Amino acid sequence: MSRITLPLLTGLIGTAILVWLGTWQLQRLEWKQNILSQIESRIGGDPAPLPAIGNPEADRYQPVQLTGTIEPQELFVLVSQKRIGAGYLVISPFVTEDGRRILVDRGFIPVEDRSVARDGGAKDITGNLHWPDDRTSSTPENDITGNTWFARDIDAMSDALNTEPLLVIARNMSPADPGVTPLPVDTSGIPNDHLQYAITWFSLAVVWLVGTIALVWRLRQTKEG
């Protein structure tokens, strides 16, 4: 076996593996884009009645239209918005016209507006059912006593406000909620890094192939010399 055979085979096999990984990531990208398109289509679809019992898998992102009353209690979830800074999501109990008590995420307020009185009362709300996944390994525990939450933990919030464990993220509210900026559900928080991964694998394939060619060339030059 020539002394260049093993490096050449290693280089070609390594390049093939890296190209395959990049191609696989492109396939994953297409799959993820289809999923995101389906989610976006559902988010903007026709509203449906509240389910009797919410299912996080079947009912996530389901549009709903509610008529009822926002009660005065509020829970404050500490968040940060780009170009705005820190603030809170305001979560309140909502009593539907047929008597169900659920949670409504009314939207974002700046930190300094926490103590400002907000309009409750009768509202028509269009929004989406959601089960947010806010908590990570670095998320602090909620300060329930001080009413500062670091994640929208639906079960704990429903216990605190005596509601069903159902959360609607408001898209539109009538009459409007002055001082509160709705943050509707969208797909921006769903990771989709497959294109970056594909570029990384293809770039490594190029580097690996160029390195293999350079090594083989040097070995041939040494042999001929």
Domain around 109: 62-174
- Quick check: is 12 in a domain? yes
Question: Is residue 90 included in any domain, yes or no?
Answer: yes
In this predicted structure, what is the pLDDT of residue 220?
77
Do 197 and 128 share a domain, yes or no? no
Tell me the range of 41-45, 177-181, 196-200 where mean pLDDT is highest: 196-200
53 in any annotated domain? no
Give the pLDDT score at 225.
Answer: 54
Confidence of residue 223 (pLDDT cuts 50, 70, 90): low
Q: How many domains does the chain have?
A: 2
Identify whether residues 34 and 118 lie together within a single domain: no
Structure tokens at 55: 């299912």
Q: Are residues 32 and 70 in the same domain?
A: no
Is there a single domain that holds both residue 78 and residue 115? Answer: yes
Tens digits of per-residue pLDDT, 63-120? Answer: 999 999 999 999 999 998 877 789 999 999 999 999 999 999 999 999 999 999 888 8
- Same domain for 82 and 168, yes or no, is yes
Virtual CA dihedral for 81, 107, 163, 58, nearest 10 degrees? -80
Q: Judge if 82 and 118 occupy the same domain.
A: yes
Task: Name the pTM for this structure.
Answer: 0.78
